[in-house]
Structure 1
Amino acid sequence: MRGITKLLTASCAVALLAAATPAFAQDDATSALLLRLKEKGILTEAEYNDLIARKAPPAPVAVTTNASADPQATAAAQLDEKRMVRMTESGVGMEFAGVTLKFSGQVNGFYVHDSPDKRTVGTTVVGGLANVGTQNSSAIRNGLLPGNFGVDVSTNQGGWDVAAHFGFYPGINSNSYAGNGANAPGAPYALATSGIDARQTYLTIGKPQLGTLKLGRDIGLFGSDAILNDITLLAVGSSGNNAGPSNTSLGRIGTGYLYTDFQPQITYTSPKFAGFQASVGVFQPLSTLTGGAEVNGTPGFQGKITYDFKADQFSGHLWASGISQRHDGFAGTPSYTGSGFDVGAKLSYGPISAVGYYYRGSGLGTTALFVFSTDALGRKRDSDGFYAQATATFGKFTLGGSYGQSKLYLAPGEINPTLLSKNSSWVAQARYGLTSWVTLIGEYTHTDSDAQGTNTARSNALAAGAILFF
């Protein structure tokens, strides 16, 4: 009896509102009133849904009698349907003629104040990431990410899901275009320009039951989960050359993991089965940045396996990956194979998340792939590293901290006291979700660099800014 009374009350209220409201505004006003009645406890969820269903307009009835009599009208209607453009159900994009076109992007900017160590003989560390100089520096710059504008085109043809992706990464900082293209060392001078890093261009072909084949340029497999789960990806981390910034900072690259890089590849990714998924690929062979030019006869190989699970408030993402590439000798140096593996996990319980990561390599180098991977005689150097990270979210606020280090070991018989032995850093970060797109970020990073001998360098960086994703 009480339920009938509530429905009668609601119906009367709707009728009174309809009598007092212009016809063009009745639908919105009625929906708002029913929602208020549900929020106040007058209507249950079931009663509210029933009344909403009653007020919904009847579905249009398709008229087919004329279609059979007029095939031209049918063909015209089908053509109009193909020409119709619809908004995608999620994201920013559109659908038309069986094709989905989506746009995504990211823009960030930070004020960064860096305090370097004083430049002396004792602070010389070859390969060190702690800044050294004569005075502090300030910069308005990008963080670890430059900007990003992505375009995805996808459809289904002959039962195959096919897609193409283009990723353009424009930065805000002027650069010199010397050595590393769009992300070359900064050139903070009047009339200079920034660059666009076209680091992603690939196509995919696949079926849900068969998996996906990717051909083109995209992020590597080895070390990719390490950087994608790092809190400095959204901010700055170790600043690099802050006096003349390029379009990217270092984040935790070289102080906990090797940079995975964006590489030409042909990669297969399996369907996900019981939480497990595997990827394997052949990659463009890379030359050593600290050696001479190479012509390598075999490609590089990388693989990765992941496992995801969720139980109530507890969830986890586990991964392991590997890399191997043969380097053919040059100028009398021996050939060698650089290889490595990594393991990692991200575990979350409610608002708390923790990440643990470890890697080890032989002839793999440090900071980036095959940087300082051998000595001058071509003998391999070993390397390893790790990072640990934790975050806690309270409403729109997130607090996080991490520590990591990357170590490089001398080759057998090598003596090199100024060569890097260890880069490490501490990071403290605070984030505030201003809107669903915009996040405000403040961060402190302390970076240490130690040589094989007694040399050391220390630097500190403060960063404040914002990042936007759409």
Structure 2
Amino acid sequence: MNITRTALAAALATAGTAHAADFKAGEWDISLGGIVNAYYTHTSCSGSQTVGGLALATKALGCGGTDGRTVIGNGLLPNALTTTAKTRQEGFDISATLMIGAAVASGDAISNNSNVDVRQGFVTIGNADMGSVKLGRDYGLFGSSAILGDMTLLGAGAPVSATQRNRVTLGHIGSGYTYLGTYGQMAYTLPTSGGFSATVALMSPVDAAGTSFTGRSEPQLQALASVKFDGGKAWVGVKRQKFDGPADTGFTLNAAEVGASVNLGSLGFSANVQSGKGLGVLSDGDSGNRKQTNLLLQATWQATAKAKFGLNWGESRLKDGAATDLRSNSNVTAGLYYGLTKSVTLVTEISRTTSKPVTGDEARMNGVALGGIVFF
């Protein structure tokens, strides 16, 4: 697997059902494909409502400020239309990709009519001998293996209302891994050899969402290496960025991850762990200078040619903090993924998300998601 492939392409490969429209335009090969999905989700929230920070199970985030919330919107993936153009010129393979997305649900009947989600716009240049160089906006490397292997990529995972309205659900973002993010970047991928592949990238530095910390003077660095073996794969990744803050309160994000997946007949197992300082609950640096560990465990069973059952559990755990600060978010999801046709997957999931403070009682969110996803 080329670890620099786009998340959309990876999702299509995961489903194994997509058939993009391919045609010629002069010396260019054009491919047009995409995703459309929608899920009926309902959440109910209970327990303590004093957990601070990005506590996903609280009424404020999980249930949109109420005891319960119903949304018909996207799952973890957006609706997306992706166009890729490829050609070979003077010994170089050249590819350009543009992705435009849109969300289903909003808090009113108008706002999403003009809400466009553009995550990808990049070009790659290279060949089998030199590897390839990527220039433009694309998903990050760190965390890509975790989210692309998450069974809830085709569903909803934690159906947090605060993010699903106007965007998407969270899967295990914030409760098992930190979002891989989208960045302006310059990346280099080594030629693949014997199942081994590696990419290193300079990312445009980002600010820490919801804080006063900013990324200015130095690029973010990410790297990811993976190796395929009979029946599975393993990977390791790192990321680093300096954040500036008021009154010399800045810090440096330093994080690493390691994971593996293996298939044993109809059974599949995977695990991923991320750990570091300033990693962020949902995105880079959003929890400041705190140390954090993310863990995701998953087991799936391909019961029939069409039906797959899965169970996964994840936790994002922070160290230190004041009494009401967030200590951890955890989520357990059970799902059934049914391939109705080669392009349509129907999904049923039930989930439980728990948010705990440093001291005190926890907040709880129960969720259900019913719907489907179409790849074309």
Q: What is the TM-score of this pair, normalised by structure 1?
A: 0.72
CA deviations over 1:28-84 (Å, ceiling 9, x no partner): xxxxxxxxxxxxxxxxxxxxxxxxxxxxxxxxxxxxxxxxxxxxxxxxxxxxxxxxx
Query: Aligned equivalents of 2:357 and 2:191: distance in 1?
Result: 45
Deviation of the 1:144 alpha carbon = 1.0
Residue identity in the other structure for 1:223: G
Q: What is the TM-score of this pair, normalised by structure 2?
A: 0.89
Structure with larger Rg = 1
Q: Supply the RMSD in Å over aligned alpha carbons.
A: 1.7
Q: Select the residue among 86, 108, 112 that pairs with 1:193.
A: 112
- Contact 2:93–2:125 (8 Å) recurs in 1: yes
Q: Select the residue among 341, 347, 362 that pairs with 1:456.
A: 362
Name stretches of at least 5 consecutive residues in structure 2 with no aligned partner.
Answer: 1-18, 60-64
- Contact 1:101–1:151 (8 Å) recurs in 2: yes
Query: Aligned equivalents of 2:362 and 2:283: distance in 1?
Result: 21
Aligned to 2:260: 345
Deviation of the 1:350 alpha carbon = 2.1
- Contact 2:123–2:134 (8 Å) recurs in 1: yes
Change (3 A) 1:338 1:154: same
Q: Select the residue among 279, 294, 299 that pairs with 1:385.
A: 294
1:217 maps onto 2:128 in alignment? no
- Contact 1:358–1:384 (8 Å) recurs in 2: yes
Query: Aligned equivalents of 2:251 and 2:118: distance in 1?
Result: 31
1:163 maps onto 2:95 in alignment? yes
Residue identity in the other structure for 1:253: I
Q: Please say which of residues 192-201 and 144-153 is displaced more in the overlay.
A: 192-201
| Structure 1 residues 319-338: aligned runs within 5 Å | 319-328=235-244, 330-338=245-253
Q: Select the residue among 265, 269, 278 that pairs with 1:354.
A: 269
Deviation of the 1:126 alpha carbon = 2.5
> SS where residue 332 of structure 1 aligns?
helix
Identical residues among aligned pairs (%): 32
Name stretches of at least 5 consecutive residues in structure 1 with no aligned partner.
Answer: 1-89, 175-186, 374-379
Query: Aligned equivalents of 2:88 and 2:205: distance in 1?
Result: 33
> SS where residue 116 of structure 1 aligns?
strand
Question: 1 or 2 for the larger relative contact order (CA 8 Å, sep ≥6)?
Answer: 2
- Contact 2:268–2:300 (8 Å) recurs in 1: yes
- Contact 1:131–1:241 (8 Å) recurs in 2: no
| Structure 1 residues 145-184: aligned runs within 5 Å | 145-174=77-106
Aligned to 2:331: 425
- Contact 2:213–2:250 (8 Å) recurs in 1: no
CA deviations over 1:210-229 (Å, ceiling 9, x no partner): 10100000010111111111
CA deviations over 1:181-200 (Å, ceiling 9, x no partner): xxxxxx2x234434220110
- Contact 2:51–2:58 (8 Å) recurs in 1: no
More strand by share: 2
Aligned to 2:56: 129
Aligned to 2:150: 230
Query: Aligned equivalents of 1:190 and 1:107: distance in 2?
Result: 19
| Structure 1 residues 95-106: aligned runs within 5 Å | 95-106=24-35
Deviation of the 1:364 alpha carbon = 2.0
Deviation of the 1:293 alpha carbon = 5.6
Residue identity in the other structure for 2:373: I
Change (3 A) 1:396 1:327: same
> SS where residue 228 of structure 1 aligns?
helix
Aligned to 1:109: 38
CA deviations over 1:256-275 (Å, ceiling 9, x no partner): 10101111100001111111
Deviation of the 1:367 alpha carbon = 2.3
Aligned to 1:25: none
Deviation of the 1:169 alpha carbon = 1.1
Deviation of the 1:123 alpha carbon = 4.2
> SS where residue 226 of structure 1 aligns?
helix
1:141 maps onto 2:141 in alignment? no
Aligned to 1:399: 309
Change (3 A) 1:134 1:364: closer
Q: Select the residue among 286, 290, 307 that pairs with 2:227.
A: 307
Query: Aligned equivalents of 2:183 and 2:234: distance in 1?
Result: 23
Query: Aligned equivalents of 1:192 and 1:385: distance in 2?
Result: 34
- Contact 2:233–2:260 (8 Å) recurs in 1: yes
Query: Aligned equivalents of 1:306 and 1:190: distance in 2?
Result: 44
Residue identity in the other structure for 2:85: V
- Contact 1:125–1:455 (8 Å) recurs in 2: no
Change (3 A) 1:366 1:192: closer
Give the number of aligned pairs: 351
Change (3 A) 1:213 1:130: same
CA deviations over 1:357-411 (Å, ceiling 9, x no partner): 11101122222111112xxxxxx2100020110111122100000011000112x
Deviation of the 1:206 alpha carbon = 0.5
Deviation of the 1:332 alpha carbon = 1.1
Residue identity in the other structure for 2:173: I
Query: Aligned equivalents of 2:163 and 2:225: distance in 1?
Result: 40
Deviation of the 1:232 alpha carbon = 1.1
Aligned to 1:416: 322
- Contact 2:198–2:224 (8 Å) recurs in 1: yes
Deviation of the 1:244 alpha carbon = 7.3
> SS where residue 392 of structure 1 aligns?
strand
Query: Aligned equivalents of 1:366 and 1:278: distance in 2?
Result: 26
> SS where residue 274 of structure 1 aligns?
coil
> SS where residue 225 of structure 1 aligns?
helix
Query: Aligned equivalents of 1:244 and 1:345: distance in 2?
Result: 29
| Structure 1 residues 9-48: aligned runs within 5 Å | none
> SS where residue 248 of structure 2 aligns?
coil
Query: Aligned equivalents of 1:323 and 1:465: distance in 2?
Result: 35
CA deviations over 1:150-182 (Å, ceiling 9, x no partner): 0001101111111110011112123xxxxxxxx
| Structure 1 residues 428-447: aligned runs within 5 Å | 428-447=334-353
> SS where residue 161 of structure 2 aligns?
coil
